[in-house]
Amino acid sequence: MKHIYKAGKDASAPTLLLLHGTGGTEQDLLPLAAIIDESASVLSVRGNVSEHGMPRFFRRLAEGVFDEEDLVYRTHELHEFVNQAAAEYEFDRDNVIAVGYSNGANIAGSLLFHIPQSLRGAILHHPMVPRRGIQLPDLSNTPVFIGAGRNDPICSPQETEELAALLEGAGASVAVNWEYGGHQLTRTEVKAASDWYREQFKK
Q: Which residues are catalytic?
A: 102, 152, 183
10: Cβ contacts below 8 Å, ≥ 6 apart: 39, 40
Find the helix or strand (DSSP H, E) in which 101 lies.
strand 96-101
Q: 63 in helix, strand or coil? A: coil
Residue 116 in contact with residue 148, Cβ under 8 Å? no
Work out the angle between the directed axes of helices 103-114 and 68-89 (0-180°, nearest 10).
Answer: 80
* 139 φ, ψ (degrees, to nearest 5): -110, 25
C-alpha–C-alpha distance, residues 132 and 129, integer Å = 7
> Of 181, 177, 183, which is closest to residue 146 (Cα–Cα)?
177
State whether residue 179 is helix, strand or coil. Answer: strand
Return the H-helix or E-strand segment holding 51. strand 49-51
Q: How many residues does the chain have?
A: 203
